[in-house]
């Protein structure tokens, strides 16, 4: 409305942007013109042994996110072997020692959180320890976790979203013998046929510079951008051979969820889910679509031999109901009297030009090139996982909701650095029941310090229930180890946690929504693991 | 509300004129040679969002258009000649000039 008023004096004969994807799935040909950025020997995402990195400097710099357009950008900069790396892809094996110094060259405090890795609270980067501007912080830990794609990003209280948005995020890939066996079986090479994909939505101003200015209402919803980037590439394409590709997908967006599928024309291709946040599943799960919430990872195999002809395949997000149900009546689930419809309310608060949550949109074009014959097959067995920890006693209930005053809460609590409203005993096995109110929106819930298993989903919305493939309403990705789980409005998710770890003394970790704007505005609590 | 509806009506008429004008190809050059009285010109900078090469339209997230009292926004414009779009790509930064004759905007140069 502001724009219309401003135009009034001169009239309006241009066509106002209608807040829809600038490219629709059906007319996306020719729109994907930028080669996908991949981990290389230097520069962005360069792969390097984590134990060889001695220092990471958190820097404000300029970077061409869009081709030939320099934008202010915040990055993790490392120098290894005379090469300058930006947001390096850190490679490690279980048992590797990580000793590095983080130097903060920002004008605000920061800290690195090693998302998904098992660490003591000092090395976890919970935000209780911060590095002030010009200061440094030394990390010293051992890689203790299974092979998987983890990631690292900022975690200072109240200002994580902006720091991550401006560029601070990198991958931490742990490899082991099982991984190498899979790579040999399928002839996979990182950066060539084993492709990490970091999906993030961003907005740019009219000069092509990254833009992040949110109103209070937009903070309540979470950031929704105008462009979807993959590996910081806008409208990317990837040239592929007719063979199996491994895509390790991180939803690095601040708030947006995606319903991921591979499509050739109107046909959805089958793909295999082989891993989640905490590494390989026991067996591949054949799927056609999978939801991924902010901070989650999906490890998938796509067999392009199943594609017909040379028509491009698109990684896309299918349309879905984003369930912005903040305004429904909690008891009836219906629209509260006098309240705006959740979705409409959400659209009104979204930034002008932002792609609405749940919109169908292509994310990446995959061009199929001629290639030598490839005859490998996906192994039927990938790994072995221990059974979920059997707990004793009633589940611990944690309810996700809002206070009606624009604040998201957990059991009615809001973040307080000096409080840990939940205490567990080291070595205890517990079941937690994550209950999302009806009057809510989807929340990707992240637990620091421990990975967990999903035991049951209850009251799942129809679009989730339709994807359940196992008893207890479980989804294919629930077969794996997770550090983040997406909980939909009205849904209850029962998870199993084993609070065993080797760290001495009491440890304090965070439990929070990984919609980063929610986290920053208080949807986070500390919990204590008592020694 | 009344003002708002008037603006929307004006906008709708303008859009219709813009498309009609565009489809009657030859008028472009005629109008360029004999600009209407009171025609305004403006310069702008922006980021291309979408290109419709068939229709000869381009969607631009632009900065302020000085002289037209136009604040930053995202709009679709017709171009004087479809060939002007041939070397352009989405998410490219462009400088452009446009005319406004009281009914419609038309991009006359873009690079």
Q: Which residue of A has its CA nearest to B64?
A: A206
Residue with tokens 């965070």: A510
User: B48 to chain A: which residues are within 8 Å by CB?
Assistant: none
Q: Does B12 contact A at CB distance below 8 Å?
A: no
pLDDT for the residue A23? 53
Closest-CA distance of chain B to residue A24, Å: 10
Q: Give CA separation, A377 vs A175, A183, A276, A444, in Å.
A: 21, 12, 21, 34
pTM for this one? 0.90
End-to-end, the C-alpha distance of chain B in Å comes to 39
Is the Cβ pair A12, B14 closer than 8 Å? yes
pLDDT for the residue B66? 84
B81 vs B58: CA distance, rounded Å: 12
Interface residue of A3, A13, A353, A362 to substitute, partner B, most B CBs within 10 Å: A13
- Which H helix or E strand runs over A233? strand A233-234
Intrachain domains A191-368 and A396-530 with the same fold: yes
CA A347 to chain CA centroid, Å, is 22
Is the Cβ pair B46, A3 closer than 8 Å? no
Q: Which residues pair with A495 in a beta bridge?
A: A432, A454
Give counts: helices (H), strands (E), chain A. 8, 37
CATH class entry, domain A191-368:
mainly beta
Residue B30 or residue B50, greater confidence:
B50
pLDDT for the residue A335? 74
* Domains (range + CATH), chain B: 2-110 (2.40.50.320)
Whether B13 shows a pLDDT value over 60: the answer reads no
User: B46 to chain A: which residues are within 8 Å by CB?
Assistant: 206
Q: Does B96 contact A at CB distance below 8 Å?
A: no
Is the Cβ pair A205, B61 closer than 8 Å? yes
Closest-CA distance of chain B to residue A32, Å: 9
Q: Does B68 contact A at CB distance below 8 Å?
A: yes
User: A16 to chain B: which residues are within 8 Å by CB?
Assistant: 11, 73-76
Q: Which residue of A has its CA nearest to B49?
A: A22
CB-nearest to A33 from B10, B63, B89 is B89
pLDDT for the residue B19? 34
Interface residue of B47, B56, B94 to substitute, partner A, most A CBs within 10 Å: B47
Domain residue ranges of chain A, discontinuous segments joined by +: 39-175, 191-368, 396-530
Is the Cβ pair A13, B11 closer than 8 Å? yes
Candidates A53, A62, A86; CA nearest to A170 is A86
- Which H helix or E strand runs over B2? helix B2-23
**Does residue A41 sit in helix, strand or coil?**
coil
User: A226 to chain B: which residues are within 8 Å by CB?
Assistant: 61
Q: Which residues of A touch B (CB under 8 A)?
A: 1-17, 22-23, 31, 33-34, 66-69, 204-208, 226-227, 234-235, 352-353
Is the Cβ pair A17, B90 closer than 8 Å? no
**Does residue A324 sit in helix, strand or coil?**
coil
CATH class entry, domain A39-175:
mainly beta
A496 vs A518: CA distance, rounded Å: 24
Is the Cβ pair B17, A13 closer than 8 Å? yes
Candidates A255, A248, A206; CA nearest to A228 is A255
Whether B26 shows a pLDDT value over 60: the answer reads no
Give counts: helices (H), strands (E), chain B. 2, 5
What CATH code is assigned to A396-530? 2.60.40.420
Q: Does B73 contact A at CB distance below 8 Å?
A: yes
Beta-sheet strands, E only, within A254-340: 258-264, 267-269, 271-276, 279-287, 290-292, 297-303, 313-317
User: B110 to chain A: which residues are within 8 Å by CB?
Assistant: none
φ/ψ of residue A464, rounded to 5:
-90, -45
Query: Number of residue pairs across A and B with CB atoms under 8 Å?
Result: 120
The answer to whether residues A367 and A237 touch, using CB atoms and an 8 Å cutoff, is yes
Q: Give CA separation, B1 vs A1, A453, B4, in Å.
A: 11, 55, 5
Residue A332 or residue B52, greater confidence:
B52
Q: Which residue of B has its CA nearest to A206?
A: B46
Mean pLDDT of the residues in chain B: 74
- Tens-digit pLDDT string for chain A (531 aa): 222 222 333 333 344 444 455 555 445 667 899 999 999 888 999 999 999 999 999 999 999 999 999 999 999 999 999 999 999 999 999 999 999 999 999 999 999 999 999 999 999 999 999 999 999 999 999 999 999 999 999 999 999 999 999 999 999 999 999 999 999 999 999 999 999 999 999 999 999 999 999 988 899 999 999 999 999 999 999 999 999 999 999 999 999 999 999 999 999 999 999 999 999 999 999 999 999 999 999 999 999 999 999 999 999 999 999 999 888 888 887 876 555 444 445 555 566 678 999 999 999 999 999 888 999 999 999 999 988 877 878 999 999 999 999 999 999 999 999 999 999 999 999 999 999 999 999 999 999 999 999 999 999 999 999 999 989 999 999 999 999 999 999 999 999 999 999 999 999 999 999 999 999 999 999 999 999
Closest-CA distance of chain B to residue A67, Å: 8
């Amino acid at each position: 409305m502001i724009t219309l008023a401003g135009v009034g004096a001169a009239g309006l004969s241009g066509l106002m942007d209608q807040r829809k994807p600038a490219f629709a799935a059906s007319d996306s040909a020719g729109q994907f013109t930028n080669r996908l950025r991949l981990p290389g020997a230097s520069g962005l995402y360069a792969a390097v042994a984590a134990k060889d990195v001695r220092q990471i400097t958190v820097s404000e710099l300029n970077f061409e996110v869009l081709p030939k357009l320099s934008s202010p950008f915040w990055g993790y900069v490392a120098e290894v072997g005379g090469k300058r790396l930006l947001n390096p892809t850190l490679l490690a094996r279980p048992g590797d020692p990580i000793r590095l110094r983080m130097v903060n060259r920002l004008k605000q405090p920061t800290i690195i959180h090693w998302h998904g890795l098992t660490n003591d609270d000092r090395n976890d980067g919970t935000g209780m320890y911060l590095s002030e501007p010009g200061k440094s912080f030394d990390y010293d830990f051992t890689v203790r976790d299974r092979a998987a794609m983890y990631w690292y990003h900022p975690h200072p209280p109240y200002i994580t979203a902006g720091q991550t948005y401006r560029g601070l995020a990198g991958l931490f890939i742990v490899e082991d013998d099982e991984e190498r066996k899979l790579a040999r079986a399928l002839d996979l090479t990182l950066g060539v046929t084993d492709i990490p994909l970091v999906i993030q939505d961003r907005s740019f101003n009219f000069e092509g510079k990254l833009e992040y200015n949110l109103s209070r209402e937009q903070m309540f919803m979470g950031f929704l951008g105008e462009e979807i980037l993959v590996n910081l590439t806008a409208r990317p394409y990837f040239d592929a051979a007719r063979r199996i590709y491994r895509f390790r997908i991180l939803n690095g967006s601040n708030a947006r969820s995606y319903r991921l599928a591979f499509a050739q024309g109107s046909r959805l291709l089958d793909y295999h889910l082989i891993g989640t946040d905490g590494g390989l599943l026991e067996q591949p799960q054949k799927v056609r679509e999978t939801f991924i919430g902010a901070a989650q990872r999906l490890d998938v195999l796509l067999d392009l031999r199943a594609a017909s002809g040379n028509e491009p395949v698109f990684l896309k997000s299918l349309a879905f109901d984003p369930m912005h149900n903040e305004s429904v009546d909690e008891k009836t689930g219906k629209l509260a009297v006098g309240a705006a419809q959740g979705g409409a309310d959400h659209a009104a608060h979204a930034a002008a030009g932002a792609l609405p949550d749940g919109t169908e949109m292509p994310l990446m074009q995959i061009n199929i090139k001629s290639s030598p014959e490839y005859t490998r097959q996906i192994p039927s067995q990938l790994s072995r996982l221990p059974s979920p920890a059997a707990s004793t006693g009633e589940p611990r209930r944690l309810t996700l909701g809002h206070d009606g005053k624009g604040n998201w809460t957990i059991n009615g609590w809001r973040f307080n650095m000096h409080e840990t409203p939940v205490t567990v005993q080291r070595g205890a096995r517990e079941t937690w029941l994550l209950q999302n109110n009806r009057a809510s929106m989807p929340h990707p819930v992240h637990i620091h310090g421990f990975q967990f298993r999903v035991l049951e989903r209850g009251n799942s919305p129809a679009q989730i229930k339709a994807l359940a493939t196992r008893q207890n309403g479980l989804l294919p990705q629930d077969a794996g180890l997770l550090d983040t789980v997406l909980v939909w409005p009205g849904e209850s998710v029962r998870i199993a946690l084993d609070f065993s770890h080797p760290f001495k003394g009491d440890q304090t970790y965070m439990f929070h929504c990984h919609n980063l704007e929610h986290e920053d505005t208080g949807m986070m609590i500390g919990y204590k693991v008592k020694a | 509300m009344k003002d708002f509806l008037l603006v929307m009506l004006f906008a709708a008429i303008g859009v219709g004129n813009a498309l009609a004008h565009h489809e009657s190809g030859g008028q472009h050059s005629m109008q360029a040679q004999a600009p209407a009285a009171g025609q305004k010109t403006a310069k702008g900078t922006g980021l291309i969002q979408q290109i419709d090469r068939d229709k000869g339209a381009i969607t631009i997230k632009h900065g302020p258009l000085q002289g037209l009292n136009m604040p930053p926004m995202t709009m679709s414009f017709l171009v004087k000649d479809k060939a002007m779009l041939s070397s352009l790509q989405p998410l490219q930064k462009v400088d452009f000039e446009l005319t406004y004759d009281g009914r419609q905007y038309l991009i006359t140069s873009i690079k």
